[in-house]
Amino acid sequence: MEEYREAQRQKWLQAQQEKQNQAATSATSSNAAASSSSTSAKETPTIGGTAASSSNGASSSTTTSSSAASSTQPSGASSGNLPNLKRVHILPVGTAPDANGPPRLQLLAPELRRKRTDKEPIKAGLYMRSSGLTFIVISAEPAEGILCPETDYFVDGDPVLNFEKVQFICLRDFESGDMNQDPTCLFQEYISPYFRSLQDSNQDITTIIQVGEILKIFDLEFQVMCAEPSPPDMGIVDANTMVYVDWDSTPEFEKIHIVPFQDTLPNAYQFDVFSDYLKPYLTKSKHKRFGLNEQFTYQGVQFKVVCCDPQGPARIGRNTTIYCEGVLHPSLRNLLPPEVLEQLSHLPPGLQMLLLNTEALAGGYEERLTEVQEMLSHRRGLTDEAINRVQRFTWSGGPEEVQCMVCLSAFEQGDEVRKLPCNHVFHATCIDEWLRRCTDCPICKANVERGVRQ
């Protein structure tokens, strides 16, 4: 099948070169421009004889109907140099066989024996028809090979459906060039030739895709965003599938500041943070979307996004300014994941300080980090009934504390406060929020629930 893919790629490259030549000619001759337009129209890739149409310039769609096969195509792939398959996964297409009937492997046995005897190449997407049913190869290891006595067969799983609709987006990254073209060209010059290469090959094979999968098509990458029907997330793109495609609309950062944690940086050799760590990671993860406070690790070095404009989620593009100066120390606030930091930001300042107090517990950062995440996420504190049993009164001055250690504000006449069994006093609303998350006094760690019972 690779020769057909390569033939389509060469055709695409030739079309690109012709477009450039036509553009140069149109700049000097209006007649040449008209001729160029005519030639371009004739060479626009179509499926089913109809070019993709664009809806308000937002997406392109058409059915992937089969076109006539080329008269010069080879008769089939050679199996002479193909390796033996270690394992192969095969599932039924459309509907599952009768549960009370013979096992799937027994239904497949006649066709598998024939293909093994004939040494026919096996790869993902290959149809198998046996016992009056249609099956399809989901995966093979290695990617293409021949069946042998040692091949392991897997036939468990839901039937594979034919997708009615599929939505692709063309992914942008900081290495990409101009991507402001009409999205119709994505279908005509990429999607259509790619899927048509299978249909033109005259082989009993199709394309299986999965939602979230990224396909490399010529010089661009496309992600499968959604498909119908769903579930399942895996299905077949065939002649009746309606295909939609558009550019990735994720915004681009103007600037982003990514800083490493000091304790993860190497000490045994010299290095450059950007060249040796950050740039290779961004190149490897060029489609990744980042957000404020997001963390990632590359080659043992941990990084965190400490500042970005906009805040995200957004992507790093060609015009993004990347900063990586400075280091972070492993404090609890720096180590907390973005979703926990978001919860923490809605709490009073004093309560944030108490939660992040690493001196309150022995065991280091890891133990305290786990405790803070559980306190913020699971609220394993006192019930409202137990909290209401804690002494509550109106502040009128006295020998107790003069400041609430949760909100860090001084007590004023008329404030509603609570005195815990350990005699520490807080604003009622402040300590109630704490006690819903933790059963202990935030200052001395005495168990409030046990004190109330006694």
CA distances from 20 to 7, 40, 193, 341 (A): 20, 11, 19, 51
- Give the lowest-confidence range in 31-35, 227-231, 384-388: 31-35
35 pLDDT higher than 60: no
Grade residue 400 by pLDDT with cuts at 50, 70 and 90.
Answer: low
Grade residue 150 by pLDDT with cuts at 50, 70 and 90.
Answer: very high
Task: Report the alpha-carbon distance of residue 146 to residue 79 in Å, rounded.
Answer: 7
Transcribe 263-307 into DSSP letters.
GGS-SSS---IIIIIIHHHHHHTTT--B-TT-EEEETTEEEEEEE
Task: Report the alpha-carbon distance of residue 108 to residue 378 in Å, rounded.
Answer: 50
Q: Which residue ranges form the domains of the chain, and what is each CATH number?
A: 2-25+43-70+166-202+212-247 (no CATH), 87-161 (3.10.330.10), 255-330 (3.10.330.10), 339-453 (3.30.40.10)
- Which pLDDT does position 317 carry in this prediction? 82
Question: What is the pLDDT averaged over residues 293-303?
Answer: 89
- Which pLDDT does position 446 carry in this prediction? 87
Q: Which of residues 49 and 185 earns the better pLDDT score?
A: 185
Highest mean pLDDT: which of 52-61, 212-221, 397-406? Answer: 212-221
In the chain, % of residues over pLDDT 90: 29
- Give the lowest-confidence range in 126-140, 141-155, 179-193, 357-371: 357-371
List alpha helices for 299-447, DSSP H.
Answer: 332-335, 338-345, 349-355, 364-378, 384-388, 428-435
- Which pLDDT does position 72 carry in this prediction? 35
Q: Could you report the per-residue pLDDT of 336-387, keeping only the tens digit for each?
A: 667 666 766 666 666 666 666 544 443 455 555 566 666 666 556 788 888 8
Task: Report the alpha-carbon distance of residue 401 to residue 49 in Å, rounded.
Answer: 83
- Tell me the sheet residues that pair with 305: 258
- Which pLDDT does position 128 carry in this prediction? 93
Contacts of 277 (CB under 8 A, 6+ apart): 260, 271, 298, 299, 301, 303
11 pLDDT higher than 50: yes
Mean pLDDT, the chain, rounded, equals: 77
Q: For residue 399, is the peptide bond before it cis, meaning its omega torsion is within 30 degrees of 0?
A: no
Dig out the tokens for 450 from the structure. Answer: 């046990």
- Which pLDDT does position 58 carry in this prediction? 40
* DSSP 8-state class, residue 55: S
- Which pLDDT does position 363 carry in this prediction? 44
Highest mean pLDDT: which of 126-140, 357-371, 430-444? Answer: 126-140
| CA dihedral of 52, 53, 55, 56, whole degrees rounded to 10 | 120
- Which pLDDT does position 321 carry in this prediction? 92
- Which pLDDT does position 66 carry in this prediction? 36
Grade residue 110 by pLDDT with cuts at 50, 70 and 90.
Answer: very high
Closest by CA to 397, choosing from 411, 416, 409, 382, is 411
Grade residue 218 by pLDDT with cuts at 50, 70 and 90.
Answer: confident
136 pLDDT higher than 90: yes
Task: Report the alpha-carbon distance of residue 135 to residue 233 in Å, rounded.
Answer: 18
87 pLDDT higher than 90: yes
- Which pLDDT does position 399 carry in this prediction? 64
Grade residue 234 by pLDDT with cuts at 50, 70 and 90.
Answer: very high
- Which pLDDT does position 373 carry in this prediction? 62
> Integer distance in angstroms from the first to the last C-alpha of the chain?
79
Grade residue 442 by pLDDT with cuts at 50, 70 and 90.
Answer: confident
